[in-house]
Homo-oligomer: A and B are copies of this chain.
Amino acid sequence: MLTLHDNITSGNGYKCRLLLTLLKKPFKRIEYDIDKGETRTPEYLAKINPNGRIPVLQLEDGTCLPESDAIMWYLAEGTEFLPADRLARAQALSWMFFEQYSHEPNIATLRYWITHKVEMTPERRAALPGKRVQGQAALKVMENHLAKHGWFVGGGYSIADIALYAYTHVAEQGGFELKPYPALNAWLKRVASRPGHIPITKG
């Protein structure tokens, strides 16, 4: 059986949990307390992920695959959640890299700081206003796309939507107001109403 090394509060972990559930793939979930450094132990670094992060998908032969979007790609190849067309596949990746570079480090990070009640060090205090502005810019890029398209890529629900849904639907927990983005809100509802959808809190 597949094993997901995970943390239940993580949107990156949720991407994998959601896709595994939609694909009806049974999996075992191992929970790590990231606040206690459980993904930075010598054993975790040696055996699961040298980069010290969740999620990691462990295959039946023991191979460990880190990075949420790479895990989704692996699971989605050959399924309805990844377009077959070459350009559409690259466009899906384009949105997934956008998510990891321009969206997650801002929106997910502020959510993490607030919901996990981390110490607001001088470094974090200095970074906060920039992350707020850049997170809003990322939401605006999404809104402009969704004002013209029902989904991010190829006319249907795909792993690009899952990648962006994961932290967008909980962005308000990071202090990001979602009301100014009507097309984005409509898309959030479309994603949540997909058959088999599960919430981020479902382990």
Residues of chain A whose beta carbon lies under 8 Å from any beta carbon of chain B: 50-51, 59, 63, 65-71, 73-74, 77, 86-87, 89-91, 93-94, 96-98, 100-102, 104-105, 122-123, 125-127, 129-130, 138, 141, 144-145
Contacts and interface: CB of A to CB of B under 8 A. Distances in A.
A104 to B, nearest CB: 8
9 contacts: A51-B138, A67-B97, A70-B90, A77-B89, A100-B101, A101-B105, A122-B126, A123-B129, A125-B126
A191 to B, nearest CB: 21
Contacts of A126: 122-123, 125-127
A76 to B, nearest CB: 10
* Main SS class of interface, A: helix
Nearest to A144: B50
Nearest to A142: B50
Contacts of A91: 65, 70
Contact of A69 (B65, B93, B102): B93
